[in-house]
Chain A
Amino acid sequence: MEKKDWIRYILVFLITLTLFLSSAWLSSFMNTKKIRDIRNIQDKISIDIMSSETQFQLLQEFTCKDVSASSLSGELNSLAEKIAYSEENMSKTEEVKDLKKYYSLLQIKDYLLMQKIKDRCNMPVTPIFYFYTTSENCSNCVKEAAVLNKLRAEYPELRVYSFDYNLDLSALKTLLRTFKVEDTKLPALYMNDKLYTGFLDENNIKEILPELEEYARIRKEAKAASSTSTTTSTTSSTSRK
């Protein structure tokens, strides 16, 4: 074997290594950017929530027209998808865990704000707390998530707050203690002031939350009304009832 053969091996090795490292760097760069994107969205939501809260505290006559229940939850949903994707596909586990904590906090804040708005403006909102785990093989969690996603798409009044049981967050710990959630009985759902454990299908949940059907009926009527009379908007007619 000649010297030039060895040189070629080393040269090829160096080129391959360079491509490999640039791939790793490029991936890390793009993933960091993605995480930054999530953080930006979260910051934006955080500001929205805080601003609503502040508004609420400042003005006693909080104008109900200003708040539409669907706007916030929509953003939170798309965020959940992105965080789940990052958790599966990125190696930056610490950063993703931080984002998840932030997300969980935002959900709790959203819930607290929603409760106030609901009382004040008589808004049709039904919260469900959903506790799952990713640490062990929880096939019922996958099933429950599918059911909740479907219901959420069907009933915009339903606000699903989902929490990873194993997340190390003191606010979440308090929530778990208050609702008496145990890790042996996951998935768990907290709705109508009661904790349900194990898999619940669509019909089970509809039975526990009969108001969902009621909301849907009102929505349908409002839609029929708005198609006949253009003066009444959908949101105001529902909130009035």
Chain B
Amino acid sequence: MQAFLEIVVYIVSFFSLYVQIYFLIVFLENRKKITIHREPLRLFEKNEDYPAVTIVVPAYNEGESVAITTESLLKLNYPKDKLFLILVNDGSKDNTWEVMQRYKDHPQIKIFNKPNGGKFSAQNLALENTQTPFLGCLDSDSTVHPEALNRIMTYFLEDPRIMAVAPTIVSSKEENLLQKAQKTEYEMQIYVKKMMSLVNAIHVTPGPFSIFRIEVFDKIGKYKHAHTTEDIEIALRMQKHHMKIENAPDSYVYTNTPKTVKSLYKQRKRWIYGFIQNALDYKGLFFRKKYGNIAFINLPISFILLSSVLFLVISILRSVYEFIKTQSLTISAIGINWETYRPKLELDPFFFNTSALMFISIFLWLLVFFSLYMSQKMLYGKTKINLNILWFFLTYTLLAPFWVIKAMFNALRNYEASWTKEIDSR
């Protein structure tokens, strides 16, 4: 058992290191291609040259925040006659529909009321009522940077093969340590997502503010229920049809992150469960040359790293068990003896950990810090060193195993868990 676990830990660390080095190499190859705009953009001289864009805002029990989301979209630096909003009330039980009523006469906005059917159904309703060449969606817990749309559109204008562009999601505000931890997590994703997009291996076009060419839906069909992660399904379906997905690292969407452990747990469980189920639905993508890097890097590595959590947890629990056992035996033999816990004055380098795994971890940490450094450089133009990274590693090592294992367990049993259609809309 011990030897088996050790081998698994080595394999997992090999793949983790492989992925980080892969990103590093992609970065070194393409670093000149990463454009970050910091000033307001003007895409065309004349407003009429701008392509028309529709943004859908599906809402289920969002109340006032629909108005906040809508207002932020109206403030986008984009010609008013080229930007249209569709607000869809997905059978909310609160005042969401009343809030939407405020915009019923707005020239840019159409509002719809429908019985509850899940986010994908709200998006499909909007899709049927869209005439513009571009379509996007913005969850009603998010707001956009005024330049977000312009910056995304630069990619479409540059390359007609690009079919969708994913934005960069950052945390809108942090009120507690859990949200500070998530802020760091979102920041780290900026680098990872950009590297994935550079090798055309993106597996998710996030619900908040991914923009699509409308022909995507003409060619491959509408949104599906897709285990309540329609944003993963549509991206995988696009990959299957060899459609190119880009990532705009400077197009910021501010999203409200879960405030409590329970809501974070539910959100992550849903995401990972959705990822596993969708990846299984698209298992034909795995290791097939014609699908490119997503077939060899993104999907297989995600699976390996997810299952590695299971082994890491077993291995950590084993050491914790051994430690507690020795300690309790010692205490039962001689009582609590503080002398043994007092740190020794002189540190003997002999007792420094010099296992191979230790050095591998050091390499891995250096690469992880590099990815955070690059992410922050892309986001702020400089690095902000703070304690958030500490909260991130602390909370995620403690909590992530729970949602990963639960999601895997549910996926294994193909168990449609408690997120019923009603919760669907979020």
Contacts and interface: CB of A to CB of B under 8 A. Distances in A.
Interface of A: 1, 5, 8-9, 11-13, 15-16, 19-20, 22-24, 26-28, 30-31, 34, 37, 82, 85, 89, 139, 142-144, 146-147, 149-150, 153, 199, 201-202
A147 B25 contact: no
Given A143-B333, A147-B334, 8 more contacts: A12-B18, A19-B363, A22-B359, A142-B330, A143-B330, A146-B329, A146-B330, A146-B333
Contacts of B358: 27
A20 B14 contact: yes
Contacts of B356: 20, 23-24, 26-28
A9 B15 CA distance: 12
A5 B333 contact: no
B401 interface: no
B21 A12 contact: yes
A31 B350 CA distance: 9
Nearest to B354: A30
Contact of A139 (B14, B296, B329): B329
Interface string B287-331: 001111100100000000000000000000000000001100110
Which 10 pairs from chain A and chain B are nearest by CB?
A143-B333, A23-B359, A30-B354, A27-B356, A146-B330, A24-B356, A146-B333, A142-B329, A23-B356, A16-B18
Nearest to A34: B350
Interface in B5-57: 14, 17-18, 21-22, 25-26, 29
B21 A16 contact: yes
B332 interface: yes
Given A23-B363, A89-B353, A147 B333 contact: yes
12 contacts: A5-B296, A8-B22, A8-B29, A11-B25, A16-B21, A20-B14, A20-B360, A26-B359, A37-B350, A82-B351, A146-B329, A146-B333
Contacts of B329: 139, 142-143, 146
A1 B292 contact: yes
B420 interface: no
Interface of B: 14, 17-18, 21-22, 25-26, 29, 199, 289-293, 296, 325-326, 329-330, 332-334, 337, 339-340, 350-351, 353-360, 363
Contacts of A142: 326, 329-330, 333
Nearest to B293: A5
B26 A8 contact: yes
A22 B19 CA distance: 18
Contact of B296 (A9, A24, A144, A146): A9
B134 to A, nearest CB: 29
A147 B296 CA distance: 56
Nearest to B13: A20
Nearest to A37: B350
Nearest to A5: B293
Given A5-B293, A13-B18, A153 B339 contact: yes
Nearest to A14: B21
A8 B25 contact: yes
B1 to A, nearest CB: 13
B25 A12 contact: yes
Contacts of B199: 5, 8
Contacts of B353: 89
A89 B355 CA distance: 8
Contacts of B359: 22-23, 26-27
Contacts of A22: 359
Contact of A150 (B14, B337, B350): B337
Given A13-B18, A19-B363, A143 B332 contact: yes
